[in-house]
Amino acid sequence: MNDKDEELKKVIMDLEEERSDLEDANSELCQKLCESNDEIREAHKELISVIYIFIFLNALIKIISCVVVLPMFMYLQGLRDLSDESSTIRVKNMGRVDEKPFLKVCEQRFSGEDVALQHARLCSEWQKMVMDSRWEPFKIQRSGDKIEGVVDEEDEKLKNLSEEWGEDVKKAVKTALEELYEYNGSGRYPVPVLWNFQHGRKATVKEGIIAHMKHQIKNLKRKRTFD
C-alpha cells in the first residue's frame, strides 16, 4: 500500500506541476493577448484618424477647386478674349519686351524688308537676354527700412544698348526686367497679369469681371446682327 501511495503522490505532484506550468503559460498568453489587443486598438485609432484626415483633405480640395480654382480658371479663360487694343482692361504679359521702340528705331535706320527683319531680330535677341537667368543686371538698394532689388543703370549691356539703339529701346528692356523681377524673379519668363492700361497698374478682379461682361455683351450683339 505504501508503494502505491507514494506512486499516487508522485502522480499528483506531477499533475500539480503541469497545472502550475499551464496556468503560467495561460497567464503569459493572456498578457500577450491583452498587449496585442491594445496594439490593435491603437492601430485602429490611428487608422481612423488617417481616414478622417484623408476625408477632410479631400473635401478641402473639392471646396478649393469649386470656390477658387474653377472660377479663377473660367475667369482667366474669359480674359483671354480681351485682346481688343481699345479695351483698357486686358491681359499683359509681364516681362515681355515692348516692341514699339524697337520698331520705331528700325524704321528710322532701315528701309523695305530690312525694317521687319531687323525689328524681329532685335526683339527676339533682347527677349532672350531678358529671360536669361545668367544675366543679372540688378543691384540691391535700401529704401527706408526696405531692401529691394532694382535694375542697375550702369550695367554694361544696358549702357551699350542705349548707345547703339537709343534710350527708348533701353527703357523697354529695363521695364521688362523690372516686371520680371517683381512678378517672376525666380522663373525669368513672362507671366500673364490682368492690367489696367488706363491707369498703368494691376487691375482688380472686379474690373476684370466688368470688362469680360462687356466683351460678352459686345459679342452677343455682334452675333445677333449677323443672324
Q: Which residue has the cell 519686351?
A: 97
Q: How many residues does the chain have?
A: 227
Residue type, 24: D
> Which residues partner with 89 through β-bridges?
196
Q: What percent of the chain has pLDDT over 90?
A: 33
**Least confident span in 22-36, 61-75, 167-181:** 61-75
30 sits in which H/E element: helix 2-64
pLDDT digits (tens, 9 = 90+) for 24-59: 766 776 676 666 666 666 665 665 565 556 566 666
Q: How far apart are CA 191 and CA 169, in angstroms?
A: 21
214 sits in which H/E element: helix 205-226
For the chain, the domains span 1-79, 84-226
pTM for this predicted structure: 0.60
